[in-house]
Structure 1
Amino acid sequence: MTQSHEQPLVGDDARAFIGKVTNEAEGIVVKKEFQRWAAAVKDRNPLYFDADFARAHGYRDVIAPPLYVQYVTLGVADLDQLRPDGIPGGTGSGDIPLPRCPRRMAGGDDMTFYEPIYDGDVIRAVRTVTDIHEKKGRSGAFVLVTSTTVYTRQDGTVVAENNASMIARP
């Protein structure tokens, strides 16, 4: 019986990231910015543009499109600072040491929205790695990294949560 002596794709240094915060960021919701974002993605929902309409539907003012919460806390990265997968280096799960798996790609997102966000809200995003494990797929072995980002308003209210996965391949 032959034993495989292949090295694992996930080492102890990578496993040490499980449960750790890998990114924290803060940003301010700006009405003009979220309205431009909504127009750019062709979402002309009157909740984002018409205060009277928003109030008639139970909101105190226009609200930001729900997915905009992810963009409030993003910084600006120059093109030469992007990794080959288009993600800015130095943020989040892309920094987990997986030297045998240099190819990184998004594996999916599952967003949950709890509260609307408004002009002037200060949003804090905290990303924590929840799991790292090796898997086998049809095209071979890979590493699945999962994380949760919690988005909180300045008053401590959790407004959204994102459970995301990143795939790293040899």
Structure 2
Amino acid sequence: MINVKLRMNFGVRYGMLPEEVTRFIGKAGDISIMEVDKGAIRRYAAAIEDGNPLYWDEDHARNSRYGSIIAPPAFFGWPTQKTKGASVPSGEVLVDAMAKAGYTNPGTINAGEEYEFFRPVRAGDILASSTVVKDIRERAGRNGNMMVFIVRETTYVNQNGDVVAKAQVITIRR
């Protein structure tokens, strides 16, 4: 397992956010599905300028402990396709609720990320991901304007039911 942590310590006040925003805490978003192919792995490796032969060279990868081409660790963050008919709240619904509560600034800031990688992702894998809103907190910024910190955790599972990665992302909205 590779664990990369970028944590943020933020002083917060509870009870200031309206229920139409806090009701999302503990809720999962739409499930997304992605089939992994060699071309996508290679495009991602090229985009991050990683020449590791495990991502490019089939002979090298076949003779490695992995037995086939694998994806770079953060590959799971690439776009996925949402499943049809998902009935749980999506990120857009949360953004709409925040706008109705007065948080209308369209800007979102990435305040920190934490990744855990458990298993390699291979060409042919089918990954399902689901994001849960872990926490929503409010605090005053330096200028006195209120900011909302949203903590989301996404879990990525392969076709065998194995968790391959988890990502926790903190975003700030004003």
* 1:1-170 matches, cutoff 5 A: 10-71=17-78, 73=80, 91-92=90-91, 95-96=94-95, 97-99=97-99, 100-103=102-105, 104-105=107-108, 106-140=110-144, 141-169=146-174
Measure the CA separation in 1 of the matches of 2:79 and 2:125.
10
Contact 1:9 1:142 in 2 (8 A): no
Give 5+ residue unaligned stretches, structure 2: 1-14, 83-88
Match of 1:81 in 2: none
CA distance in 1, matches of 2:23, 2:168: 19
Cross-structure match for 2:12: none
| Per-residue deviation, 1:36 | 1.5
Aligned-partner Cα distance in 1 for 2:51–2:17? 45
Distance 1:134 1:155, change over 3 A: same
8 Å Cα contact 1:112-1:161 kept in structure 2: yes
Percent identity of paired positions between Structure 1 and Structure 2 = 32
Q: Look up the equivalent residue of 1:98 and give its one-letter code.
A: M
Task: Tell me the CA shift for residue 148 of structure 1.
Answer: 0.4
The Cα shift of 1:93 comes to: 6.4
Residues 89-131 of structure 1 deviation map (CA, whole Å, 9 limit, x = unaligned): x952673411221234132221111100111100000000000
64-73 or 101-110, which deviates more: 101-110
**Number of equivalenced pairs:** 148
Q: TM-score, normalised by structure 1?
A: 0.78
Rounded to whole Å, the distance in 2 between the matches of 1:63 and 1:29 is 10
CA distance in 1, matches of 2:74, 2:93: 22
CA contact (8 A) 2:24 2:94 kept: no
Residue type at the aligned position of 2:103: C
**Residue type at the aligned position of 1:119:** A
Runs of 4+ in 1 over 3 A off after TM superposition: none
Q: Secondary structure at the match of 2:31?
A: strand
Shift of 1:41: 2.2
Offset of 1:23 from its aligned partner?
Answer: 2.8
Cα separation, 1, equivalents of 2:16 and 2:123: 44
Contact 2:30 2:90 in 1 (8 A): yes
Q: What's the TM-score once normalised by structure 2's chain length?
A: 0.76
Specify the code of the residue in structure 2 equivalent to 1:70: G
- Find the aligned partners of 1:61 and 1:72 in 2 and give their Cα distance: 23
